[in-house]
Amino acid sequence: MSSTTSGGGRTRGTIVAAVVIFAVLILGLASLTATPGGPSNAPVATPSTSATDGAQTQMSPELERALLALARRDADDGSAVGRADAPVVMIEYADFQCAYCGKFARDTHPRLMKYVQDGTLRIEWRSFPIFGEESTAAARAGYAAAQQGRFWEFYGIAFAKERKLNSGAFAPGKLEKMAREAGVPDLGRFRTDMESKAAKDAIDRDSQEGYAIGVTSTPAFLVNTQPILGAQPLEVFEAAIEQARSTAGKPTVTSAPEATGQ
């Protein structure tokens, strides 16, 4: 997010403050602070629902803009799929060792590609390694695959089956094998990119972004302004995408307080 002041006098500090509000929204949901990965039936927070008491609330225009600004929309991002100007962006915070991330990748991601193909949806990956060294190594491998345009092929292979945590499944030799299967053309460059400072910086940036909005477990998603927590059923993602598409580009209307009659 930019540190400069934009139209209307918004500053980076204001945006960060708004994102902190979103953190409170997420942190109010026990699913995200329970066991790593979270149950697949974890509750979903919607922009109009309070995370603490279920009361209907109005998302402020400032908060809405801050959440939308998290979408990078970089046409050269090798770990994103879909048009950079798609009306809906789904950000996915995930760990390659996360069982529920794998469940999403196998069961739901392929069925959301219809929205990518018709120009509605863009999916942006964020590395959020939380299970130790093999998670970080896999995140680095994902970054390296993306540099040669093979991230999503690597994603499919890495998540093809559930693997035991820190069992050696993502050891360097295994990661190189996955890259080969994913069609990464230059494995020498792949190894160099994996160990580069650029890989570390990219993963740190993704992780810091996630922590800044309250993500503490995986998978976590942001569909424009709506958070989705855990490997939810397909219908949850479809509903969020349809809702985001229907409101994309429309100004947020703040309702006037209801009269109390006093």
pLDDT at 61: 87
pLDDT at 251: 60
d(CA 193, CA 219): 25
pLDDT at 2: 35
Would you say residue 22 has pLDDT above 60?
no
Q: Please report, for residues 64, 65, 88, the alpha-carbon distance to residue 246 in angstroms, rounded to integers and kept in the order given.
A: 15, 17, 10
Counting runs of H as helices and runs of E as strands, what totals does the chain give? 10, 5
pLDDT at 60: 83
Q: What is the pLDDT of residues 100-120, one digit of tens each?
A: 999 999 999 999 999 999 999
Say which residue, 257 or 141, is predicted with more confidence: 141
Give the model's confidence band at 58: pLDDT under 50 very low, under 70 low, under 90 confident, else very high. low
d(CA 262, CA 241): 41
Q: Is the dihedral angle over the CA atoms 35, 38, 43, 46 positive or is it negative?
A: positive
Q: What is the pLDDT of residues 179-189, one digit of tens each?
A: 999 999 999 99
| Contact (Cβ atoms closer than 8 angstroms) between residue 125 and residue 162 | no
HEC readout, 21-44: HHHHHHHCCHHHHCCCCCCCCCCC
CATH architecture of 20-247: 3-Layer(aba) Sandwich (3.40)
d(CA 217, CA 31): 9
Give the model's confidence band at 69: pLDDT under 50 very low, under 70 low, under 90 confident, else very high. very high
**Could you tell me the residue ranges of all domains in the chain?**
20-247
In this prediction the pTM is: 0.79
